[in-house]
Structure 1
Amino acid sequence: MNQLIYDFIKQNQDNILNEWTEKMKEKADERLVRVVSDQMFTRTSREFIDMIISNIESDNEVFTGKLTDFAEKVVRLGWPLTFVNEGLREFNLIVFQGMQANGIVTSENQMDIIYDFDKWSTPLSNEIVNIYARTWEKTVSLQKIALQELSAPLIPVLEGITVMPLVGTIDTQRAKQIMENLLQGVVKHRSEVVLIDITGVPVVDTMVAHHIIQAAEAVRLVGTKCMLCGIRPEIAQTIVNLGINLNEIVTKNSLKKGIEAALEITSRKIVEMEG
């Protein structure tokens, strides 16, 4: 980097940070400002400026490490990539205008300094995009795994009885996850009865019913009885209109009724205690 630019940044670091923070707050969308406190925004802004300066002072390995840490943080905070790149452009503009105001940029050296800015900031911008994209992909991948694990939980409620509550739309990928979790869970918990609760499933069409029938059949083959709970009137009407055959599956209109039936199957019942 041009020595004049480097010296100006080092000597005016705090002023640059304050001006940058104020301008970026104006550019930030309302959601970003609302979810991040002023203190957090200022601290993250300082980290951003420190990271930019470390690109000037440190070797590439140190800078990459700082950039990766920063990218992971701003992804969690919800800073969009466009905002981060805009921050770099704003930093360059503040420094350039400050150098002009102090008479450091003259008509003779202006083009050289602009060239040095571009030569320094373009690779930095590209590196920010690459690291940010990789961090975002990693975050999305981890979230996807977590959602898959939560999308079809198998919960043991009593000895020999487990429940799988389903919420939301069931697609082919999720149906596969349901099947895997059911088979692994009933064996792990030694379940005699498993209840699939579809109270939170908004629509049961032919495909969804087919997947449920397949899951129930697979569970039956490993020696566990499957029960379908949460059959609301509109769901029942849809099943009848579509001509879906659920004769091989015990159905109940609520999870409460299902647990009562499961207790009977396992030779137990709920008894009210007196006084």
Structure 2
Amino acid sequence: MYHQLVDYIHNNKDTLLEKWMESMKDQADERIVKVVSDQVFTRTSREFVDLLNSNLVNDQDFSTKLEDFAAKVIRLGWPLTFVTKGMQAFSKIIFEGMREEGAVPDERLIEFGEVFEKWMTPLYNEVINVYTETWEKTVSLQKIALQELSAPLIPVFEKISVLPLVGTIDTERAKLIMENLLTGTVKHRAEVVLIDITGVPVVDTMVAHHIIQAAEAVRLVGAKCMLVGIRPEIAQTIVNLGINLNQIITTSTLRKGIEAALEYTNRKIVELEG
């Protein structure tokens, strides 16, 4: 019965693929169909069916192929639910196709069901495990990359560096900001550090506390800290919260902050005629 299953899939691969694609396009989220071109969807679907088939014939490279496929479909945006539905749909198409052709007589349905279950269940579990592990690895790498890019201290002039902040600041990110700020201040030998909060949507008590701590830490390593990019609504929030920023020089824009930093280091911006 097992060999009949193998032979049926091998001899009807193109037909199975066509039926599977029709079934999955009906079930797919619009985002999956629209974002991925028909050519890519067809190629990826063929790889998926080949992958299921390679496990059936005990391909020694199956695990490697599965990991590569999982990484690919994650990049394409295929959610795990879509992949698992795909396996269920493929199983149903094979089962119904073999019954229609008479390859599975009624008196051997139980035997065939057991063979089918022994093939699909371990495969189903392995696909889920590899997909989950690959997804977690991808998310972890993306998180590390975002963290590395989320708080860079940029030297813009000699002795002057800028720390542009974008997005929400939580406790974990505040620690990273502090580390990058102190390390960069010493590394670039900065005398003035400008913390630019133009891209920070909300400044509450916790965010202000982290900024004050960062400014104090910069002062302790021998540099001056300025807070720039304070929009009117942010200024109003700071006043309403009663946050004391008296020890920190503040400006409304990064440009004004750089001008103030240049003055502090005995320099200024001049316009040349002609």
Partner residue, 2:218: 219
Structure 1: unaligned runs, 5 residues or longer: none
TM-score, normalisation: structure 1:
0.96
Q: SS in structure 2 opposite 1:166?
A: strand
Q: How many angstroms apart in 1 are the aligned matches of 2:3 and 2:57?
A: 12
Larger mean CA deviation between 234-243 and 37-46 belongs to 234-243
Partner residue, 1:42: 42
How far the C-alpha of 1:143 sits from its partner, in A, is 1.3
Q: How many angstroms apart in 2 are the aligned matches of 1:231 and 1:103?
A: 76
Q: How many angstroms apart in 1 are the aligned matches of 2:79 and 2:219?
A: 49
How far the C-alpha of 1:250 sits from its partner, in A, is 0.8
TM-score, normalisation: structure 2:
0.96
Partner residue, 2:102: 103
Q: SS in structure 1 opposite 2:107?
A: coil
Deviations 1:158-186 (A, max 9, x none): 12111111122211111111101101111
Larger mean CA deviation between 163-172 and 123-132 belongs to 163-172
Is 1:28 aligned with 2:28?
yes
Q: SS in structure 2 opposite 1:109?
A: helix
Partner residue, 2:248: 249
How far the C-alpha of 1:258 sits from its partner, in A, is 0.2
Deviations 1:90-138 (A, max 9, x none): 1111111211221211112222112211111011000011101101111
Q: How many angstroms apart in 2 are the aligned matches of 1:267 and 1:156?
A: 17
Partner residue, 1:263: 262
Equivalent pair of 2:185/2:223 in contact (CA under 8 Å): yes
Larger mean CA deviation between 130-139 and 202-211 belongs to 202-211
Partner residue, 2:122: 123
Partner residue, 2:171: 172
Partner residue, 1:53: 53
Q: How many angstroms apart in 2 are the aligned matches of 1:180 and 1:268?
A: 29
Q: SS in structure 2 opposite 1:273?
A: coil
Q: How many angstroms apart in 1 are the aligned matches of 2:70 and 2:139?
A: 14
State the superposition RMSD in angstroms.
1.3
Q: How many angstroms apart in 2 are the aligned matches of 1:159 and 1:105?
A: 80
Structure 2: unaligned runs, 5 residues or longer: none
Q: How many angstroms apart in 1 are the aligned matches of 2:64 and 2:29?
A: 28
Equivalent pair of 2:191/2:223 in contact (CA under 8 Å): yes
Segments of 4+ in structure 1 off by > 3 A?
A: none
Q: How does 1:186-197 map to 2 (within 5 A)?
A: 186-197=185-196
Q: How many angstroms apart in 2 are the aligned matches of 1:142 and 1:238?
A: 35
Q: How many angstroms apart in 2 are the aligned matches of 1:119 and 1:56?
A: 10
How far the C-alpha of 1:29 sits from its partner, in A, is 0.5
How far the C-alpha of 1:268 sits from its partner, in A, is 1.4
